[in-house]
Amino acid sequence: MTAIRGNGRPAAPGGAAAPFLLRWSVLLVAVVCWELAARAQGSVYFPPPLRIARHARDLWFSGPVGHLFLTSAAVDTILPSLGRMAAGFALAAVAGIALGITVGRSRVAYALCNPVLQFARAVPPPALVPVFVVVFDFGTPMQVASIAFSAVWPVLVNSAEGARATDPLRLQVAAVLRLTAPERLWFLILPSALPRIFAGLRLSLSLSLILMVFSELLPGSDNGIGFTLTDAQTRSDLLTVWSALLLLGALGYLLNTGLLAVERRLVGARTSRGRTA
Amino acid sequence: MTRRQGLSLGLLGAALAFGVCEAVSRAGIVRRSYLPPASEVLARAVRLAGDPAFLDGIGVTLRAWALGLGLACAIAVPLGLLLGAVPVVEAAARAVTEFLRPLPSVALIPLVSLLLGSGTETEVTLIAYASLWPVLFNTVYALGETDPLAKETLRVFGFGRLAVLLRVELPTTAPFIAAGVRISAAVALILAVATELLSGFGQGLGIFIAQAETATDGTRDVLAGVVWAGGLGLVINGVLVGVERRLFAWAQESRPETGTSERGRP
C-alpha cells in the first residue's frame, strides 16, 4: 500500500522492509508507552493494554481446542452478533445490487427514484432503529432488519450509478451483436458497475458493523458484543469495556480486509483501493 | 432527458412512494400502529416545526453536531497536511490509524459516557472522533496526488517548503478536504442521533425519537422525527455541495451527483 502511490513517489528509503518495520515499531512503541503510563498512573479508566489483552483472552479465547479456543461466553456473545450482521449485510447487498442495477438501467426509473433514494440515504440510520423496535419488538429480526435497512442505501445508490455509467458505445455494440439481456447484464453492465458496487459494499459493511453494535446497545437486548459493552458499562467494568472495543476493532479490520481481498479478486488491481469514503 | 423532466419525474416518484405508504397503512395491510399513514406522519412533522420545545431540541443537536465537526476539522486538516507532507510520519502513523479506524464509533459510547458522563461533552467528543477520519484520510490522499511538476517548478525557482504548501498543495487539496468534510457531516449527524438515542434524557432530536418510541402509539412521532432527521441530513448535504460548487468551481472533480453518462458520447 505504501509502495505504490499515484504519482510514483518513492515510499521510503530501504525497500519494502523499512516502512513495514517502521510502521509496526511505531505501533509497538505507542502500546508500550501506554502500558508504562497506565502502570505508573494506576488509572481505573485506562488499564494497561497487556491486562486488556489478557482479559479479552480469558473472556473469549481460552476455551478448549475442540471449540477453536472459543469459550462458551464467546459462543454466546460473538457468534450471535456476527450472525445478525452477516444476515443484515447479505440482505442489504443482494437487495441493493439487484434494485440498484434495475433502477440504474432505466433513465425513467432512475429519475423517478432518485429523490426518494437521496432522502432515504440522508436519514441517519440510528434514527430508524426505534421504528423497527416498534414493529418487530426486541430480538434478532428487529436487529437484522435495522442493519439491512440502513446498509442497503449505499449499495443501492452506488449500483445504480455504476449501471447508469455503462459505456453507451459498448451497449450499442452489444445490440449489434444481438446479445440477450442476461448476457448484456453479465458481460457488460456488471463488470463496468463492479468498482462502484464495491465502493458501496465497503460503506455498507462499516454501516452494518455500526448498526450491529448500536442495535445491541439499546436497552432490551440481551446478548451480543454490544450488550456486553452496556452490561460492563453499568457494572463499571472497564476492563471488559476495553476488551470489547479491542474485539470490535479486530473484527472490523478482519471484515474490511476480507472484503478488500474479494474486491481485488473480482475487480482486479486496476480500480481497487480508489478514494473511499 | 432534460433537467426539468428529471425533476418532475422525481417529484412524481416521491408522490408515488408517499401514496404507496398511505395506501398500505389505510388498507390495513400492516397494523396502523406499525406504519401510520404517510399523511399523518407528514402532518405531525409539519406541526413539530411550530413546537418551540422540539425546535430547541433540534438546536441542541445541531450545536453538538457543529461543535464536533468543527473540532474534527480543526484537528484533522493540520494533522492530515503533516502526515501527507512527510512520508515517514505517514508510514509511522498508518499502523495506529489502521487500528483505530475499523472500530465502529458507536461502540465508544459506553466508554466515553463512563469517562465524561452523559452530556454534551460526551456527544461532542464522540462526534469529533468519528468525523475525524474522512477529513484526515481525504487530506492525506489528496496531498499525495498533487502535481509533482508544479511542486518541482516552484522549488527550482527557490520557493521554500511552506511556500509550496501554500501555493500548490493547499489549493489542489482543498476540494478533496471539502469532500471529506461533507462525508464527515453525515457521520457527525449519525453519531449525534445515536448518542442522544442511547442517553435518553435531556434535549435533542435523538431524545425526542427515543421518548416517542416508549409512548403508546408513538410510531407516528418516531417517524415524524425520522422525517426531520432525513430533512436535516438533506439540507446539510445540499448546503455543503452548494458551497463546494461555488468555492471550487475550477476543480474538475467528478461528483457522484453529476454522473458521467451525460458526457459519454454515443
**Chain A residues closer than 8 Å to B17 by CB:** 116
**Chain A residues closer than 8 Å to B199 by CB:** none
Contact A233 B218 (CB under 8 A): no
The pLDDT value given to residue A15: 52
**Chain B residues closer than 8 Å to A206 by CB:** 102, 104
Contact B233 A120 (CB under 8 A): no
Minimum mean pLDDT range among A75-79, A273-277, B31-35, B156-160: A273-277
Contact B14 A115 (CB under 8 A): yes
Query: Does the global pTM surpass 0.80?
Result: yes
Chain B stretch 27-46, residues whose beta carbon is closer than 8 A to a beta carbon of chain A: 33-35
Q: Report the candidate in A253, A211, A254 with the shortest Cα–Cα distance to residue B102.
A: A253
Q: What is the pLDDT along chain A (277 residues), one digit of tens a residue?
A: 334 444 444 444 445 566 677 777 888 888 889 888 888 887 778 888 888 888 888 888 877 776 777 777 888 888 999 999 999 999 999 999 999 999 988 888 888 898 899 899 899 999 989 888 888 877 888 999 999 999 999 999 999 999 988 888 888 888 888 888 888 888 888 888 899 999 999 999 999 999 999 999 988 888 889 999 999 988 888 889 999 999 999 999 899 999 999 998 888 754 444 444 3
Separation CA A161–CA B256 (nearest Å): 8
CA–CA min distance B182, chain A (Å): 10
Q: Cell numbers 502502570 label which residue?
A: A39
- Report residue A208 as a C-alpha cell: 452494518
3-state secondary structure of A219: strand
CB count within 10 Å of CB B253 equals 11
Chain A with chain B: Cβ pairs closer than 8 A: 207
- Report residue A179 as a C-alpha cell: 446479445
The pLDDT value given to residue A19: 66
- Report residue B198 as a C-alpha cell: 442511547
Q: Are A220 and A138 in contact (CB under 8 A)?
A: yes
Q: Is B218 on the interface with A (CB under 8 A)?
A: yes
Which 3-state string (H, E, C) describes chain A? CCCCCCCCCCCCCCCCHHHHHHHHHHHHHHHHHHHHHHHHHCCCCCCCHHHHHHHHHHHHCCCCHHHCCCCHHHHHHHHHHHHHHHHHHHHHHHHHHHHHHHHHHCHHHHHHHHHHHHHHHHCCHHHHHHHHHHHHCCCHHHHHHHHHHHHHHHHHHHHHHHHHCCCHHHHHHHHHCCCCHHHHHHHHHHHHHHHHHHHHHHHHHHHHHHHHHHHHHCECECCCHHHHHHHHHHCCCHHHHHHHHHHHHHHHHHHHHHHHHHHHHHHCCCCCCCCCC
- Report residue A189 as a C-alpha cell: 453492465
Separation CA A26–CA B92 (nearest Å): 6
- Report residue A53 as a C-alpha cell: 489483552
Separation CA B65–CA B61 (nearest Å): 6
Q: Report the candidate in A130, A257, A60 with the shortest Cα–Cα distance to residue B212.
A: A130
What is the rounded average pLDDT of the residues B48-58?
A: 91
Chain B stretch 60-79, residues whose beta carbon is closer than 8 A to a beta carbon of chain A: none
**Chain A residues closer than 8 Å to B35 by CB:** 135
Contact A229 B226 (CB under 8 A): no
Across the interface, which of A23, A124, A275 has its CB nearest the CB of B91? A23
On the 0-12 / 13-18 / 19+ scale of CB atoms within 10 A, A246 is middle
Contact A120 B95 (CB under 8 A): no
- Report residue A207 as a C-alpha cell: 454501516
DSSP character at residue B165 = I
The pLDDT value given to residue B190: 93
* Position B131 confidence tier, pLDDT thresholds 50, 70, 90: very high
Q: Cell numbers 515499531 label which residue?
A: A25
* Among A9, A118, A196, A246, the residue to mutate for chain B (most B Cβ within 10 A): A118
- Looking at this protein, which amino acid is placed at residue B157? F
Minimum mean pLDDT range among A250-254, A268-272, B43-47, B96-100: A268-272
CA–CA min distance B202, chain A (Å): 17
Across the interface, which of A122, A126, A248 has its CB nearest the CB of B197? A126
**Chain A residues closer than 8 Å to B232 by CB:** 122
**Chain A residues closer than 8 Å to B100 by CB:** 249
Sign of the C-alpha dihedral, residues B63, B65, B67, B70? negative
Across the interface, which of B34, B95, B194 has its CB nearest the CB of A26? B95
Angle at A188 between CA A186 and CA A189, to 5 degrees: 80
Q: Are B123 and B131 in contact (CB under 8 A)?
A: no
The pLDDT value given to residue B252: 56
Q: Cell numbers 471529506 label which residue?
A: B180
